[in-house]
Amino acid sequence: MLCVDAITKQKGRQMTRIPSRTILKLFTDWALSGTAENQCAVPAKDRVDCGYPQVTAEQCNSRGCCFDSSIPGVPWCFKPLEKSECTF
């Protein structure tokens, strides 16, 4: 049994309950993405394209790749670092 209904977040002075379905979706999305956040910390100049024109973040992540559209002129969907390359 998951006890995720008990998790809350503070919003101003009020405590707001986070629905278990939201937490479960976030966890599922993370687990299915197959890449750790630090594996996607690839400098823009070192990105190796992993997508195709107009690829969405969801499509990119489902391929096991990273998506970051914040830097124009470089691949937005790119291969993650190998686990041995990750920095902690």
Total number of domains in the chain: 1
Q: How far, in Å, CA of 33 to CA of 62, rounded?
A: 6
Helices and strands (H, E) in the chain, number of each type: 2, 4
56 within domain boundaries: yes
14 within domain boundaries: no
48 within domain boundaries: yes
8 within domain boundaries: no
Residue 50: which domain range?
44-78
pLDDT in tens, the chain (88 residues): 233 334 445 556 666 677 777 776 665 555 555 566 689 999 999 999 999 999 999 999 999 999 999 999 999 999 999 866 555 5
39 within domain boundaries: no
End-to-end alpha carbon distance in the chain: 32
Q: What is the CATH number of the domain that holds 67?
A: 4.10.110.10
57 within domain boundaries: yes
pLDDT of residue 75: 96
